[in-house]
Amino acid sequence: MGIVERLHGKDLLCTQDWSIEEIETVLALAGRMKQDRFAPAFTSLLKHRTFSMLFYSPSLRTRQSFECAATELGGHAQYLEPRMMRLKSGGSAGETIEDAAQVMSRYACGLGIRILEDQIGAYGEGAALIREYARWASVPVISMADDRFHPCQGLADIMGLREHLGDLRGKKLLITWASGALARSWCSVQETLLLASRMGMHITLAYPEGYDLDPEVIAWAEDNCLASAGSLDIIHDPYSGYAGAHVVYSRNWMSPQAYAGGQFQKQREIERSLALPEWICDAERMARTENALFIHPMPVDRGYEVTDEVASGQRSIIYDIAENRLHVQKAVMALTMAELPARPEAFQG
Protein backbone atom coordinates (compact mmCIF):
# COMPACT_ATOMS: atom_id res chain seq x y z
CA MET A 1 0.00 0.00 0.00
CA GLY A 2 1.35 3.40 -1.01
CA ILE A 3 1.56 6.48 1.19
CA VAL A 4 -1.55 8.10 -0.32
CA GLU A 5 -3.65 4.97 0.14
CA ARG A 6 -2.37 4.68 3.72
CA LEU A 7 -3.48 8.21 4.57
CA HIS A 8 -7.01 7.78 3.21
CA GLY A 9 -9.36 7.58 6.20
CA LYS A 10 -6.65 8.41 8.76
CA ASP A 11 -7.35 10.62 11.80
CA LEU A 12 -5.10 13.60 12.58
CA LEU A 13 -5.17 14.08 16.35
CA CYS A 14 -1.46 14.76 16.93
CA THR A 15 1.42 14.82 14.45
CA GLN A 16 3.33 12.40 16.66
CA ASP A 17 0.83 9.75 15.50
CA TRP A 18 1.98 10.23 11.87
CA SER A 19 5.21 9.02 10.30
CA ILE A 20 7.75 11.46 8.86
CA GLU A 21 6.85 10.18 5.40
CA GLU A 22 3.18 10.99 6.01
CA ILE A 23 4.00 14.46 7.35
CA GLU A 24 6.27 15.19 4.38
CA THR A 25 3.49 14.09 2.01
CA VAL A 26 1.12 16.61 3.59
CA LEU A 27 3.67 19.42 3.47
CA ALA A 28 4.56 18.69 -0.15
CA LEU A 29 0.92 18.69 -1.24
CA ALA A 30 0.24 21.85 0.80
CA GLY A 31 3.09 23.54 -1.08
CA ARG A 32 1.58 22.58 -4.43
CA MET A 33 -1.84 23.76 -3.33
CA LYS A 34 -0.43 27.11 -2.24
CA GLN A 35 1.50 27.60 -5.47
CA ASP A 36 -1.46 26.72 -7.70
CA ARG A 37 -4.32 27.47 -5.35
CA PHE A 38 -7.32 27.11 -7.64
CA ALA A 39 -5.96 24.48 -10.02
CA PRO A 40 -8.67 22.17 -11.47
CA ALA A 41 -6.78 19.20 -10.04
CA PHE A 42 -7.82 20.32 -6.55
CA THR A 43 -11.15 22.11 -6.83
CA SER A 44 -13.39 19.04 -7.08
CA LEU A 45 -11.72 16.68 -4.62
CA LEU A 46 -14.56 17.07 -2.08
CA LYS A 47 -17.30 17.95 -4.57
CA HIS A 48 -20.77 17.66 -2.99
CA ARG A 49 -19.22 16.52 0.32
CA THR A 50 -19.62 18.02 3.78
CA PHE A 51 -16.96 18.45 6.46
CA SER A 52 -18.54 18.83 9.92
CA MET A 53 -16.87 21.23 12.38
CA LEU A 54 -17.78 20.83 16.03
CA PHE A 55 -16.73 23.94 17.98
CA TYR A 56 -16.76 23.55 21.75
CA SER A 57 -14.46 26.62 21.75
CA PRO A 58 -14.73 29.66 19.44
CA SER A 59 -12.23 30.56 16.75
CA LEU A 60 -11.23 33.10 14.10
CA ARG A 61 -8.51 31.49 11.96
CA THR A 62 -9.62 27.89 12.52
CA ARG A 63 -13.19 28.35 11.37
CA GLN A 64 -12.28 30.59 8.43
CA SER A 65 -9.41 28.44 7.23
CA PHE A 66 -11.36 25.17 7.39
CA GLU A 67 -14.42 26.70 5.69
CA CYS A 68 -12.21 28.14 2.94
CA ALA A 69 -10.42 24.81 2.62
CA ALA A 70 -13.65 22.87 2.14
CA THR A 71 -14.93 25.41 -0.39
CA GLU A 72 -11.71 25.40 -2.40
CA LEU A 73 -11.83 21.59 -2.52
CA GLY A 74 -15.36 21.78 -3.91
CA GLY A 75 -17.15 20.83 -0.70
CA HIS A 76 -18.91 22.47 2.22
CA ALA A 77 -17.93 22.99 5.88
CA GLN A 78 -20.81 22.79 8.37
CA TYR A 79 -20.45 24.80 11.59
CA LEU A 80 -21.80 23.03 14.69
CA GLU A 81 -21.92 24.07 18.34
CA PRO A 82 -22.43 21.53 21.13
CA ARG A 83 -24.63 23.99 23.04
CA MET A 84 -27.13 23.78 20.19
CA MET A 85 -27.12 19.97 20.31
CA ARG A 86 -28.43 17.51 22.89
CA LEU A 87 -25.07 16.02 23.79
CA LYS A 88 -24.48 14.24 27.06
CA SER A 89 -22.15 16.05 29.46
CA GLY A 90 -20.90 15.52 32.98
CA GLY A 91 -23.88 17.37 34.39
CA SER A 92 -26.72 16.56 32.02
CA ALA A 93 -28.37 13.75 30.12
CA GLY A 94 -28.19 13.58 26.35
CA GLU A 95 -26.75 11.80 23.34
CA THR A 96 -23.51 9.90 23.86
CA ILE A 97 -20.35 10.47 21.84
CA GLU A 98 -20.73 6.94 20.48
CA ASP A 99 -24.14 7.75 19.00
CA ALA A 100 -23.27 11.28 17.85
CA ALA A 101 -20.03 10.20 16.13
CA GLN A 102 -21.67 7.32 14.30
CA VAL A 103 -24.58 9.43 13.09
CA MET A 104 -22.33 12.30 11.98
CA SER A 105 -20.23 9.77 10.06
CA ARG A 106 -23.31 8.95 7.96
CA TYR A 107 -23.64 12.60 6.92
CA ALA A 108 -20.10 13.94 6.55
CA CYS A 109 -16.81 12.97 4.91
CA GLY A 110 -14.88 14.10 7.97
CA LEU A 111 -15.22 15.66 11.40
CA GLY A 112 -13.15 18.45 12.97
CA ILE A 113 -13.37 19.20 16.69
CA ARG A 114 -12.04 22.17 18.66
CA ILE A 115 -12.08 22.14 22.48
CA LEU A 116 -9.73 24.27 24.56
CA GLU A 117 -8.81 24.91 28.18
CA ASP A 118 -11.92 26.74 29.36
CA GLN A 119 -14.29 23.96 28.25
CA ILE A 120 -12.78 21.22 30.42
CA GLY A 121 -12.16 20.58 34.11
CA ALA A 122 -8.72 18.96 33.98
CA TYR A 123 -5.76 18.87 31.63
CA GLY A 124 -6.08 16.18 28.98
CA GLU A 125 -9.87 16.00 28.94
CA GLY A 126 -10.16 17.85 25.63
CA ALA A 127 -7.72 15.57 23.82
CA ALA A 128 -9.41 12.53 25.36
CA LEU A 129 -12.84 13.70 24.16
CA ILE A 130 -11.58 14.02 20.58
CA ARG A 131 -10.04 10.56 20.74
CA GLU A 132 -13.39 9.22 21.92
CA TYR A 133 -15.08 10.73 18.86
CA ALA A 134 -12.36 9.19 16.69
CA ARG A 135 -12.95 5.82 18.34
CA TRP A 136 -16.56 5.73 17.17
CA ALA A 137 -16.46 7.74 13.94
CA SER A 138 -16.07 5.90 10.65
CA VAL A 139 -14.77 9.05 8.90
CA PRO A 140 -11.47 10.87 9.56
CA VAL A 141 -11.39 13.04 12.67
CA ILE A 142 -9.13 16.11 12.85
CA SER A 143 -8.20 17.93 16.03
CA MET A 144 -8.82 21.60 15.26
CA ALA A 145 -7.03 22.31 18.59
CA ASP A 146 -7.47 20.74 21.98
CA ASP A 147 -5.78 21.30 25.32
CA ARG A 148 -2.79 19.08 24.36
CA PHE A 149 -2.32 19.28 20.61
CA HIS A 150 -2.90 21.49 17.58
CA PRO A 151 -1.59 19.49 14.61
CA CYS A 152 -2.63 21.84 11.82
CA GLN A 153 -0.95 24.79 13.53
CA GLY A 154 2.25 22.81 13.94
CA LEU A 155 2.24 21.85 10.26
CA ALA A 156 1.63 25.48 9.24
CA ASP A 157 4.57 26.58 11.41
CA ILE A 158 6.96 24.10 9.80
CA MET A 159 5.72 24.96 6.32
CA GLY A 160 6.36 28.66 6.98
CA LEU A 161 9.82 28.09 8.42
CA ARG A 162 10.85 26.01 5.43
CA GLU A 163 9.59 28.67 3.05
CA HIS A 164 11.93 31.20 4.66
CA LEU A 165 14.85 29.06 5.87
CA GLY A 166 14.86 25.98 3.66
CA ASP A 167 16.26 22.88 5.35
CA LEU A 168 15.62 23.18 9.09
CA ARG A 169 18.26 20.69 10.21
CA GLY A 170 20.74 22.41 12.50
CA LYS A 171 18.70 25.60 12.82
CA LYS A 172 18.14 26.93 16.34
CA LEU A 173 14.58 27.47 17.54
CA LEU A 174 13.84 29.35 20.75
CA ILE A 175 10.42 28.57 22.21
CA THR A 176 9.99 30.98 25.09
CA TRP A 177 7.19 31.45 27.58
CA ALA A 178 5.85 35.00 27.70
CA SER A 179 3.71 37.06 30.01
CA GLY A 180 0.12 37.55 28.92
CA ALA A 181 -3.49 38.16 29.83
CA LEU A 182 -5.09 35.28 27.92
CA ALA A 183 -4.15 32.16 29.95
CA ARG A 184 -3.54 29.87 26.98
CA SER A 185 -3.35 26.09 26.74
CA TRP A 186 -0.19 24.20 25.75
CA CYS A 187 -1.47 22.83 22.44
CA SER A 188 0.24 25.07 19.87
CA VAL A 189 3.59 25.16 21.66
CA GLN A 190 3.63 21.41 22.21
CA GLU A 191 2.74 20.62 18.62
CA THR A 192 5.52 22.80 17.22
CA LEU A 193 7.95 21.34 19.74
CA LEU A 194 7.08 17.83 18.53
CA LEU A 195 7.43 18.69 14.85
CA ALA A 196 10.58 20.83 15.14
CA SER A 197 12.28 18.05 17.10
CA ARG A 198 11.53 15.67 14.21
CA MET A 199 13.06 18.10 11.72
CA GLY A 200 16.52 18.09 13.29
CA MET A 201 16.30 21.53 14.87
CA HIS A 202 18.23 22.58 17.95
CA ILE A 203 15.53 23.72 20.34
CA THR A 204 15.84 25.84 23.45
CA LEU A 205 12.71 25.80 25.60
CA ALA A 206 12.71 28.73 28.03
CA TYR A 207 10.16 29.31 30.77
CA PRO A 208 9.96 30.43 34.41
CA GLU A 209 10.10 27.83 37.15
CA GLY A 210 6.61 26.38 37.56
CA TYR A 211 5.56 26.53 33.90
CA ASP A 212 6.61 23.04 32.82
CA LEU A 213 4.90 21.50 29.79
CA ASP A 214 3.45 18.01 29.53
CA PRO A 215 6.21 15.56 30.61
CA GLU A 216 5.05 12.96 28.09
CA VAL A 217 5.41 15.51 25.28
CA ILE A 218 8.88 16.49 26.51
CA ALA A 219 9.90 12.81 26.50
CA TRP A 220 8.60 12.41 22.94
CA ALA A 221 10.52 15.51 21.84
CA GLU A 222 13.72 14.19 23.39
CA ASP A 223 13.28 10.88 21.56
CA ASN A 224 12.57 12.78 18.33
CA CYS A 225 15.81 14.71 18.73
CA LEU A 226 17.80 11.51 19.16
CA ALA A 227 16.33 10.18 15.91
CA SER A 228 16.80 13.43 13.94
CA ALA A 229 20.19 14.61 15.29
CA GLY A 230 18.48 17.60 16.85
CA SER A 231 18.64 18.70 20.47
CA LEU A 232 16.45 20.05 23.26
CA ASP A 233 17.69 22.27 26.09
CA ILE A 234 15.45 23.63 28.85
CA ILE A 235 16.37 26.88 30.59
CA HIS A 236 14.66 29.18 33.07
CA ASP A 237 15.76 32.70 32.20
CA PRO A 238 14.16 35.14 29.75
CA TYR A 239 17.34 36.32 27.99
CA SER A 240 20.06 33.79 27.23
CA GLY A 241 18.06 31.61 24.82
CA TYR A 242 18.01 34.33 22.17
CA ALA A 243 21.73 34.06 21.42
CA GLY A 244 22.26 32.49 17.99
CA ALA A 245 18.57 31.70 17.41
CA HIS A 246 17.27 31.46 13.85
CA VAL A 247 13.63 31.38 14.98
CA VAL A 248 11.91 32.85 18.04
CA TYR A 249 8.49 31.68 19.18
CA SER A 250 7.30 33.78 22.14
CA ARG A 251 4.01 32.53 23.59
CA ASN A 252 2.16 32.60 26.87
CA TRP A 253 0.97 29.30 28.32
CA MET A 254 -0.74 28.24 31.50
CA SER A 255 0.90 26.56 34.48
CA PRO A 256 0.36 22.90 35.44
CA GLN A 257 -1.72 24.20 38.35
CA ALA A 258 -4.29 25.82 36.08
CA TYR A 259 -7.08 23.46 37.15
CA ALA A 260 -8.50 23.12 40.64
CA GLY A 261 -11.78 21.61 41.82
CA GLY A 262 -12.71 20.62 38.28
CA GLN A 263 -12.48 24.19 36.95
CA PHE A 264 -10.03 26.23 34.92
CA GLN A 265 -8.66 28.97 37.16
CA LYS A 266 -8.31 31.58 34.44
CA GLN A 267 -8.12 34.73 36.52
CA ARG A 268 -5.54 33.23 38.85
CA GLU A 269 -3.44 32.19 35.87
CA ILE A 270 -3.62 35.67 34.36
CA GLU A 271 -2.59 37.35 37.61
CA ARG A 272 0.32 34.98 38.03
CA SER A 273 1.44 35.55 34.45
CA LEU A 274 1.23 39.35 34.55
CA ALA A 275 3.54 39.34 37.58
CA LEU A 276 6.38 38.30 35.23
CA PRO A 277 6.58 41.22 32.72
CA GLU A 278 10.28 40.60 32.04
CA TRP A 279 9.26 37.61 29.91
CA ILE A 280 8.56 39.51 26.68
CA CYS A 281 10.09 39.33 23.23
CA ASP A 282 11.45 42.74 22.22
CA ALA A 283 13.86 44.24 19.68
CA GLU A 284 16.77 44.26 22.12
CA ARG A 285 16.52 40.51 22.62
CA MET A 286 15.93 39.82 18.93
CA ALA A 287 19.19 41.69 18.22
CA ARG A 288 21.04 38.83 19.95
CA THR A 289 19.75 36.31 17.41
CA GLU A 290 20.96 35.33 13.94
CA ASN A 291 18.47 37.73 12.35
CA ALA A 292 15.77 35.38 13.62
CA LEU A 293 12.29 34.95 12.27
CA PHE A 294 9.47 35.65 14.70
CA ILE A 295 6.57 33.18 14.74
CA HIS A 296 3.34 32.97 16.69
CA PRO A 297 0.10 30.99 16.15
CA MET A 298 -2.05 34.05 16.89
CA PRO A 299 -3.93 35.79 18.38
CA VAL A 300 -0.91 37.79 19.54
CA ASP A 301 -1.12 39.39 22.98
CA ARG A 302 0.82 42.48 21.92
CA GLY A 303 2.62 44.36 24.65
CA TYR A 304 2.82 41.26 26.85
CA GLU A 305 4.07 38.34 24.75
CA VAL A 306 5.88 40.51 22.22
CA THR A 307 6.27 44.16 21.32
CA ASP A 308 4.60 45.67 18.25
CA GLU A 309 8.04 46.42 16.82
CA VAL A 310 8.81 42.69 16.64
CA ALA A 311 5.34 41.33 15.86
CA SER A 312 4.94 43.74 12.94
CA GLY A 313 8.59 43.79 11.96
CA GLN A 314 10.22 42.61 8.74
CA ARG A 315 11.29 39.29 10.27
CA SER A 316 7.81 38.43 11.54
CA ILE A 317 6.11 35.72 9.47
CA ILE A 318 2.95 35.41 11.53
CA TYR A 319 0.66 36.19 8.59
CA ASP A 320 2.46 33.75 6.28
CA ILE A 321 1.90 31.03 8.86
CA ALA A 322 -1.73 32.02 9.36
CA GLU A 323 -2.24 31.65 5.60
CA ASN A 324 -0.51 28.27 5.66
CA ARG A 325 -3.23 26.93 7.94
CA LEU A 326 -5.49 26.97 4.88
CA HIS A 327 -3.05 25.08 2.69
CA VAL A 328 -2.02 22.36 5.16
CA GLN A 329 -5.67 21.78 6.04
CA LYS A 330 -6.59 21.45 2.38
CA ALA A 331 -3.82 18.90 2.00
CA VAL A 332 -4.88 16.93 5.08
CA MET A 333 -8.53 16.91 3.99
CA ALA A 334 -7.64 15.87 0.44
CA LEU A 335 -5.38 13.05 1.57
CA THR A 336 -7.67 11.69 4.28
CA MET A 337 -11.18 12.36 2.90
CA ALA A 338 -11.17 12.64 -0.89
CA GLU A 339 -11.75 9.75 -3.25
CA LEU A 340 -8.39 8.49 -4.42
CA PRO A 341 -7.61 9.70 -7.94
CA ALA A 342 -6.85 7.30 -10.77
CA ARG A 343 -3.20 8.29 -10.28
CA PRO A 344 -2.57 8.54 -6.50
CA GLU A 345 0.83 10.11 -7.16
CA ALA A 346 -1.06 13.25 -8.25
CA PHE A 347 -1.62 13.87 -4.53
CA GLN A 348 2.11 13.89 -3.85
CA GLY A 349 4.52 16.80 -4.21
- The full DSSP string for 176-191 is EE---SS---SHHHHH
Determine the pLDDT at residue 59. Answer: 87
Answer yes or no: do 124 and 163 share one domain.
Answer: no
SS3 state of residue 65:
helix
Beta-bridge partner residues of 293: 247
Question: Looking at residues 275-290, what average pLDDT do you find?
Answer: 98
- Is the domain of 140 the same as that of 48? yes
pLDDT in tens, 202-220: 999 999 999 999 999 999 9
How confident is the model at residue 346, as a pLDDT? Answer: 60
The residue segments making up the domain with residue 269 are 154-321
pLDDT tens track for 46-62: 999 999 999 999 888 99
Number of domains in the chain: 2
Residues 221 and 207 in one domain: yes
Average predicted confidence (pLDDT) for the chain: 95
300 and 164 within one domain:
yes
Find the Cα–Cα–Cα–Cα dihedral 274, 240, 190, 7, rounded to 10°: 150
Closest by CA position to 305, among listed 168, 188, 164, 152:
188
62 and 131 assigned to the same domain:
yes
ω into 299 cis (within 30 of 0): yes
Distance CA(329)–CA(234), nearest Å, equals 31
Give dist(CA 131, CA 11) in Å, integer. 9
Query: How much is the pLDDT for 318?
Result: 98
The yes-or-no verdict on residue 259 having pLDDT over 90 is yes
Percent of the chain with pLDDT over 90: 90
164 & 246 share domain: yes
CATH number for position 110: 3.40.50.1370
340 burial type by CB count under 10 A (0-12 exposed, 13-18 middle, 19+ buried): middle
Q: What is the structure's pLDDT at 82?
A: 84
pLDDT in tens, 150-186: 999 999 999 999 999 999 999 999 999 999 999 999 9
User: 214-217: long-range contacts (C-beta < 8 A, 24 or more apart)?
Assistant: 214/123, 214/148, 214/186, 214/190, 217/148, 217/186, 217/190, 217/193
**Do 135 and 256 have their domain in common?**
no
**pLDDT one-digit tens code per residue, 4-41:** 889 999 999 999 999 999 999 999 999 999 999 999 99
- pLDDT tens-place string over residues 316-340: 999 999 999 999 999 999 999 998 6
**Span 64-90, pLDDT tens digits:** 999 999 999 999 999 999 887 777 555
**pTM listed for this prediction:** 0.96
Tell whether 245 and 306 lie within a shared domain: yes
Do 162 and 52 belong to one domain? no
Which residues on neighbouring strands pair with residue 235, listed in sequence order?
206
134-to-56, 98, 186, 337 alpha-carbon distances in Å: 16, 9, 21, 14
Residue type, 97: I
Do residues 275 and 297 share a domain? yes
More confident residue, 94 or 339: 339
The DSSP-derived string for 205-232 is EE--TT----HHHHHHHHHHHHHHT-EE
Amino acid (1-letter code) at residue 36: D
Residue 72 shares a structural domain with residue 221: no
DSSP tally for the chain: helices H, then strands E: 12, 11
How much is the average pLDDT of 297-316?
A: 98
Do residues 160 and 140 both lie within one domain? no
Do the Cβ atoms of 110 and 178 come closer than 8 Å?
Answer: no
Bridging pattern class, strands 76-80 and 110-114:
unpaired
